[in-house]
């Protein structure tokens, strides 16, 4: 993306890579593109820490708001994002394939420091 930048964060345990987050920024707006934790490593706070680190990284780059899309059926991710302060602001019909499904668009404000 012109003028923008993206980054990835990786979470490691003694067993190896346990999760990752990919995000980008353009014109003061951040986007969480992907966040995943290995099934055997879930519910241990790894996604939470990746998300907080990702938001902190975006905040250092003058990002004021962050958006992301999540499958309407993905209640685990929605619970995580809600707890992290994201709120629904829209819906994209049939955004996902295999299976075809709506996306919820979530947004959170970011404040530096």
Ligand X SMILES: CC(C)(COP(=O)(O)OP(=O)(O)OC[C@H]1O[C@@H](n2cnc3c(N)ncnc32)[C@H](O)[C@@H]1OP(=O)(O)O)[C@@H](O)C(=O)NCCC(=O)NCCS
Residues of this chain that interact with ligand X (CB under 6 A) are: 35-37, 42-48, 70, 74, 76-77, 79-80, 83
Between 65 and 69, CB nearer to ligand X: 69
Q: How far is the CB of 67 from ligand X (least distance, A)?
A: 11
Question: Which H or E run contains 68?
Answer: strand 65-71
For 102, other C-beta atoms within 10 Å of its C-beta total: 15
Q: How far is the CB of 104 from ligand X (least distance, A)?
A: 9
* CA–CA dist 7, 44 (Å, integer): 23
Smallest gap from Cβ 113 to ligand X, in A, equals 24
Query: What is the widest separation between alpha-carbon atoms in the chain?
Result: 41
Give the total residue count for the chain: 113
Q: Would you say 23 or 46 has its CB closer to ligand X?
A: 46
Q: Report, in Å, the least distance between residue 95 CB and ligand X.
A: 11
In the complex with ligand X, which residue's Cβ is closer, 62 or 83?
Answer: 83
Helices (H), the chain: 46-59, 75-83
DSSP classification of residue 6: E
- Pick the closer one to ligand X by CB: 43 or 97: 43
């Amino acid at each position: 993306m012109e003028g923008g930048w993206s980054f990835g964060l990786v979470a490691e345990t003694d067993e190896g890579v346990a999760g990752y987050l990919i995000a980008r920024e353009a014109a003061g707006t951040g986007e969480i593109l992907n966040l995943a934790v290995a099934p055997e490593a879930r519910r241990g706070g790894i996604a939470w820490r990746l998300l907080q680190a990702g938001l902190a990284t975006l905040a250092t780059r003058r990002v004021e708001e962050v958006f992301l899309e999540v499958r309407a059926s993905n209640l685990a991710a929605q619970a995580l994002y809600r707890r992290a302060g994201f709120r629904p602001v829209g819906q994209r019909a049939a955004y996902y394939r295999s299976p075809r499904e709506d996306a919820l668009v979530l947004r959170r404000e970011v404040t530096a420091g």
